[in-house]
Amino acid sequence: MKTLGLLMMLSISIFCCSSAALQAPESELQGAVSVPVLGFHNIEDVPVSPSGSTITLKRFCMDLDALENTGYTAIQFKDLENWVHRRTALPAKPILITFDDGYVSNYVMAYPELKRRGMKASISVIGWSVGQSFNSKGKPIIPHFSWDQAREMSDSGVVEIQSHTYDLHNVGGLSLGTRQRVGYGVQRMRTETLEAYSKRLNADLRQSIEDIEAHVGNAPQALAYPFGAYRNDTKAITHQLFKGTFTITPGVRAFSSEQDLYEIPRILVRDNTSVLAEIRKYMVDDNLPWMQGVVQLLGLLGIGEALWFLTNDIRKSRFLNGSEQ
């Protein structure tokens, strides 16, 4: 009990001394909204490797139910973009459900489940692979949905189609789609001049944008970086062509201004993790902005660890006493 009192006094005094110094301009504090962005890939209706990026249909439905039951409303990237640029209203607990690669399972399994619940999603497709079950070497790949299926999902309003490049979803060497020399994802090759890189990346991304617009009717606004990989010279090009970009860096961002739409962190969903537990791990309460200040200050003073240790002890004893909520 003594420890708890001491801890509270410490927190309060730190907060009082520091609140003026830590106060951000009002324009920044007002209207920031934390939106968790989930990253899904393939879905199977048979058992899968628990830690891989493919999840079971059962897990997917459990995740959607959990989000629904805790009051989350699924939005799309265009809603987030509208909010950031025009402050168009968002629901109380917005969440963005994204899929990468464009697997046919997204159409066959995810789309009906989303539709049934009135939920929405954003799917980023690899241009060359749309409708394909084999790569350019003739090797079988996980089947991808067709342009007709993409159009149907997009027309329904349930899914928006975004870009995952035209043919830069490769680890390097000859690309899987058009057999061109490429680097790791959208990154520059070691031997490539900046000019050649700029030309190559621009050409690929423009092809992706044009294809999606021609087949689906809307140009993509966002790019999901293959493997989450990018560098500064990449951003100079992607920021010109897209209103936002997705990474696979874990986290939840508080969105406020235009720059927050770029290099957005995502929570990658696995079969063996609860989506709500993952969100809780990274979520910062928008109603407690001063909490961020306190945490930052404790870090600066180097006493964050000590406080963490103390609260651990308190939490443990609360747990042993059966008072943990």
- Give me the residues that bind Zn ion (CB under 5 A), please: 100-101
**Nearest to Zn ion of 72, 107 (CB atom):** 107
Nearest approach in angstroms of CB 300 to Zn ion is: 38
Q: Which is nearer to Zn ion, 10 or 248 (CB)?
A: 248
* CB of residue 227 to Zn ion, shortest distance in Å: 7
**Distance in Å, CB of 100 to Zn ion, minimum:** 4
> Considering beta carbons, is residue 94 or 101 the nearer one to Zn ion?
101
- Residue showing the smallest CB distance to Zn ion in the complex: 100
**100 or 204, CB closer to Zn ion?**
100
Closest CA to 100 of 210, 228, 229: 228
Tell me how far, at minimum, the Cβ of 161 lies from Zn ion, in Å: 14
CB of 80 to Zn ion, least distance (A): 20
| CA–CA separation, 260 and 192 (whole Å) | 30
Task: Give the Cα separation of 120 and 109 in Å (integer).
Answer: 14
Beta carbon nearer to Zn ion, 125 or 153: 125
Q: Cβ of residue 226: shortest distance to Zn ion, in angstroms?
A: 5
Torsion angle of C-alpha atoms 29, 35, 37, 43, degrees rounded to 10: 180
Based on CB atoms, which residue is closest to Zn ion, 126 or 241?
126
Tokens of 94: 């917005």
Interaxial angle between packed helices 275-282 and 57-69, expressed in degrees from 0 to 180 and rounded to the nearest 10: 50
CA 44 from chain centre, in angstroms, equals 21
